[in-house]
A = this chain, B = another copy of it.
């Protein structure tokens, strides 16, 4: 069994697996990288028990078979190989040759390695529901809301990102119970389902989608699993992600609908001023006060070190008022917005809505003011 392929191609695809495969695990088999030899393709696979990942790449292949190689030394070696080509000879062990360098790595028996089930081109028993999205749309839906997921053990469901598929489109939602972020993709979906993906797995999926960059991704949903498949050049990447059990409690009711005050500010200038002023803020609640006045807003904060303030121009609609926020929550909610940001207040102590001032960009965040 023999494979010959360009070193750079192998190194590039290995990078997808490098963060998924753990260097230590209660199941030692998870520390191995899988190599499967198929027709004109080398398939790399790995898992951490939460995320399964497979990357297929075109290669000159003789024979077939499945092998497990110790992942960490393999990653390290491939990155630094001297030749342009890599030759892998698989049998009782793995012999790797590149330029003047050659190595023999011990293999692990493949018995006991879990069966990985990735989505197929057509709906299957594992994945009865399928849809296709542009890679950049799914990436945007995940990365716009990820920050709002909870880090707390309390209410475990909030440690995931909820994906909602329906006739009206696909929506991603994250919340920690104190703030909420959602992204609405106006693209009718062929089934009506909700799925909660653990936030850490969202990071892995986003990393792979970023690596792929463009194209279409097949999203396949089945009981307890979300599958993804994407073509990349002459190769492909497939993922299977364990879902969380349950779904978010009804969050629609916390999204305010009436706004006595609507403010529009330049998002980046607002973020910079918030960062400066919040240096002085109380270390516990990160409180920054916003005093809206005609045409301007005064940001101020006070803590152990002293106090700071800054004024920004703002376009207002409604009755000026004073409000206070946790500066970190406000900064994170503003994070995905470029250009003009809209901050819509439902009152000095009731939830505020933050979104791009421009219509139809799909992102909105809810932040609750601090009690004055």
Contacts and interface: CB of A to CB of B under 8 A. Distances in A.
Interface of A: 70, 73, 76-77, 80-82, 93-94, 100-106, 272-273, 275-277, 279-280, 304-312
A306 B77 contact: no
Contacts of A307: 103-104
Contacts of A93: 306
A103 B308 contact: yes
Given A80-B272, A93-B306, 14 more contacts: A73-B279, A73-B305, A77-B276, A77-B279, A77-B308, A80-B276, A82-B272, A82-B276, A82-B310, A100-B310, A101-B276, A104-B307, A106-B305, A106-B306
A47 B369 CA distance: 41
Contacts of A103: 279-280, 306-309
A360 to B, nearest CB: 32
A310 B101 contact: yes
A80 to B, nearest CB: 5
Q: Of A76, A77, A93, A279, which is in contact with the most chain B CB atoms at under 10 Å from its CB?
A: A279
A4 to B, nearest CB: 19
A80 B275 contact: yes
A89 B277 CA distance: 18
23 contacts: A73-B279, A73-B280, A77-B276, A77-B279, A80-B272, A80-B275, A80-B276, A81-B276, A82-B276, A82-B310, A100-B273, A100-B312, A101-B276, A101-B310, A102-B309, A103-B279, A103-B280, A103-B309, A104-B306, A105-B305, A105-B306, A106-B305, A106-B306
A101 B309 contact: yes
Contacts of A94: 306
A309 to B, nearest CB: 6
B305 A102 contact: no
A93 to B, nearest CB: 7
A74 to B, nearest CB: 9
Contact of A279 (B76, B82, B272, B275): B76
Nearest to A81: B276
Contacts of A310: 82, 100-102
A310 B96 CA distance: 12
Contacts of A305: 70, 73, 105-106
A104 to B, nearest CB: 5
A31 B94 CA distance: 55
Contacts of A276: 77, 80-82, 101
A162 to B, nearest CB: 35
Nearest to A96: B308
A5 to B, nearest CB: 18
Nearest to A76: B279
A79 to B, nearest CB: 9
A102 B279 CA distance: 12
Contacts of A312: 100
A35 B308 CA distance: 20
B102 A308 contact: yes
Contacts of A77: 276, 279, 308
A100 B272 contact: no
Contacts of A308: 77, 101-104
A57 to B, nearest CB: 22
A340 to B, nearest CB: 19
A310 to B, nearest CB: 4
A107 to B, nearest CB: 9
